[in-house]
Amino acid sequence: MRLTYTSDVWWKNAVVYCLDVETFADGDGDGVGDFQGATQHIDHLERLGVTCIWLMPFFPTPDRDDGYDITDFYRVDPKLGTLGDFVEFMRTARDRGIRVIADLVVNHTSDEHPWFKEARSSRDSRYRDWYIWSDTPEPDDPKGVVFPDKEDSLWEYDEGSGQYYYHRFYRFQPDLNVSNPEVADEITRILGFWMELGLSGFRVDAVPFLVEGIPAQTKEAKEAKAKESKDQGGDAKAQPAQTDDKLPDVHDFLRNTRAFMNRRDGSAMLLGEVNLEYPDLLKYFGNDLGNEITMCFDFIGMQRMYLGLAREDAAPLADSLRERPAPPKDSHWATFVRNHDELTLDKLTDAERQEIFDAFGPDKSMQLYGRGLRRRLPTMLGGDMRKIKMVYSLLFSLPGTPVLFYGEEIGMGENLDLEGRLAVRTPMQWTPHKNGGFSAADPGELRNPLVTGEYGPEHVNVSAQRRDPDSLLMWITKLIEQYRGLPELAWGEYRVLDAGDSRVLAHRADIDGETVLALHNFADAEIECELTLDGLDDSKILTDVLVDGATKISPEGRITVRLEPYGCRWMRASAPELAPAGADEVEQSR
């Protein structure tokens, strides 16, 4: 493929790395990570092969929800540094060829935000309609409560103004009314501000909650529409107000946001957290137009992958990939093994979810909200490096842009002594020494405790793995290098193949006459696969990408490949005379 084209649509074969400034590196020795510390470790990300850093919220916050309760969208939280420190971070990343995106958390604000303080001061406040109010709360749907361990309602009574305000998340996070044009305009100003400082896009938090149109359901909205109908000569009782028809199309918000960003920077993108079934999710891309969210996380594929790992059978993931619709032309899926929240399993059946709980988190302390796990991959897989390496090989070969959560590259574990999601948001482990090299502060001054035990920094850290050619860090570095050199994986037409054994996931990607084949063994057993590759014959040879060697293709397009337990192979088709060095060990196929 032409690099000029792939560079224009950079997100389609990017490597995204999510980090929390507060837990990545402490540059001033106060026990809290900051931009100074993060800047000094950008070279680690450059050596790893990262092309895009995703920053979790770094704005001023009371920190009751790990930074997602924001009091000012235009500043850096003082404990993390200054705007000057942020600019230095951006400049250093740009110098290494790394783009930066940041969390766009505009579903809600903190109840300590000046907007909300002003909004609750009077029903006549200019900010009153920036939030969602009702004289009487609507009946709650228990499934709608995001944090059932902390909240039992979506409405909170405000004594000062005598009304209830809506909050999809915690009660101290009142929802913004994005249907209000003033709110939408303010959000674009926030985007524009940070884009002027160098951001290449935003990860949009909880997209479906942002656009679900809750303002239409308040009692006042219903009564106002009924009165409007009556004033126009209608019978409000005989003809109930149509609360949805006259609402602004909330997808206009996403379309307008994307259009604004494209005007400011045609290469800017939106990465959306859209945890919905595939048919419902497509509209968040903008359907066929692709003019809303640029990339959406594939939550369905991730959950089916874990079900397959629990069963040692690739079929659940294979079925999911066959069902997954193609995104619009320049849009893409984002694939991941782990993110910063609980490992949600909400799209599985109760029985399937229990299978994963039994396999990877049987203790109740490992589970969260009855729908997910608060563990990292290495601990779930019992430290089996064969299996761990296979999963990351799978991540980088699947169709989609791979997203890593900080610490995944070295196999960090979790700290189950911490509350909820914080279990996986522990300090980065750089060295085996004091505080894991995260901070020079006294250990008791660390804001976030380290992981201890066999996954603590004495055993799992960057500096040791950088020197070990067999480490997970060096394996993921190699996967990224090969992934970046195989544009077929990101751009090609994707097909799941029949490997003759459901324990093996076989898939191929084809574009411009080039083919890449990937095989992954989900089982603790050696398996011999026989496949037929349409359109290929003995005029081509399959060269291994991850190890030396090659496989011959029969005149009929058949190959036979042996996979060791939890083995993985990436193979690229080419004419024998064009095969790269190391392809002289040839496996015969029949």
Neighbours of 479 (CB within 10 A): 25
Of 34, 77, 175, 273, which is the active-site residue? Answer: 273
Structure letter (DSSP) for residue 437: G
* H-type alpha helices, 286-439: 299-311, 315-323, 350-360, 377-380, 385-397
Write the DSSP assignment of 560-587 as a string of letters.
EEEE-TT-EEEEEEE-GGGPPTT--SEE
C-alpha 520/C-alpha 504 separation (Å) is 5
C-alpha 19/C-alpha 47 separation (Å) is 16
What phi and psi, each to the nearest 5 degrees, are found at residue 586? -105, 125
C-alpha 284/C-alpha 251 separation (Å) is 8
CB contact set of 545 (below 8 Å; sequence gap of 6+): 482, 486, 516, 570, 571, 572
Would you state the structure tokens that stand for residue 584, as one six-digit string?
């002289």
C-alpha 165/C-alpha 143 separation (Å) is 19
CB 331 within 8 A of CB 274: no
3-state SS assignment for residue 332: strand
Of 205, 352, 488, 544, which is the active-site residue? Answer: 205
3-state SS assignment for residue 483: helix
The amino acid present at 547, given as its one-letter code, is: V
The amino acid present at 297, given as its one-letter code, is: F
- 273 a catalytic residue: yes
Q: Which residues of 94-125 are buried (b: 16+ CB within 10 A; e: fewer)?
A: eeeebbbbbbbbbbbbbbbbebbeebbeeeeb
Would you state the structure tokens that stand for residue 439, as one six-digit string?
């901070």
3-state SS assignment for residue 99: strand
C-alpha 65/C-alpha 150 separation (Å) is 12
C-alpha 148/C-alpha 151 separation (Å) is 5
C-alpha 29/C-alpha 26 separation (Å) is 6
CB 147 within 8 A of CB 169: yes
- 205 a catalytic residue: yes
- The alpha carbons of the chain give a radius of gyration, in whole angstroms, of 25
What residues does 527 pair with on adjacent strands? 563
**Active site members:** 205, 273
